Amino acid sequence: MEHSDPDLEQIRLNILEKLRRRFAKMEQGNTERFDRVLALWIDLQRAILSREKSHDPNGECAPWGSTDKSIRDAWDKLTDPNNLLALESLFYQLPEGPQMETARKAVQFCRERQTRKPGENESGRPGDTNS
């Protein structure tokens, strides 16, 4: 039995090393996913700010109801079902207020898009077949 103890120890170390690598890879993927969603969030904010400055400086723009193509496109990219986990993470990091409400709506839309059947349009807008 004495000869198997070093073998078991080596097996244990190999398993731990494989787990360490796997967790490091997962963390890197989560960071990349969050960074991508953060970039999409910033794109959406820029589109909203651009529209507010050029079309309606006193009005607010709710991206989920916007008719502006640049805002719709940014919203659709942000609410892609693949972004759900990172979007939820972003939501929990925002302070209460309009930004948090927008993120909450984005999470809601993202979840709805996840449950939509493949034949339904991506954006969830009636009659909108172009995503």
Specify if 73 maps to a domain. Answer: yes
For residue 125, being part of any structural domain is answered with no
Could you list the residue range(s) of the whole structural domain that residue 13 is in?
4-115
Q: What is the mean pLDDT of residues 97-109?
A: 94
Q: Are 111 and 105 in contact (CB under 8 A)?
A: no
Report the C-alpha gap between 129 and 109 in whole angstroms.
17
Contacts of residue 75, Cβ cutoff 8 Å, sequence gap at least 6: 44, 63, 64, 66, 106, 109, 123
Q: What is the pLDDT of residue 102?
A: 94
Residue 122 lies in a domain: no
In residues, how long is the chain?
A: 131
87 or 29: which leads in pLDDT: 87
Q: How far apart are CA 59 and CA 131, in angstroms?
A: 26
Average pLDDT of the residues in 71-84: 95
Nearest-angstrom CA–CA distance, 4 and 10:
10
pLDDT for 19-67, tens place per residue?
Answer: 676 666 655 567 888 889 999 999 999 888 887 666 655 445 689 988 8
Evaluate whether residue 129 is within a structural domain.
no
Q: Is 119 helix (H, G, I), strand (E, B) or coil?
A: coil
- Domain count within the chain: 1
Does 14 reside within a domain?
Answer: yes
In this structure, is residue 121 part of a structural domain?
no
Cβ-Cβ contacts under 8 Å for 76 (sequence gap 6 or more): 122, 123, 131
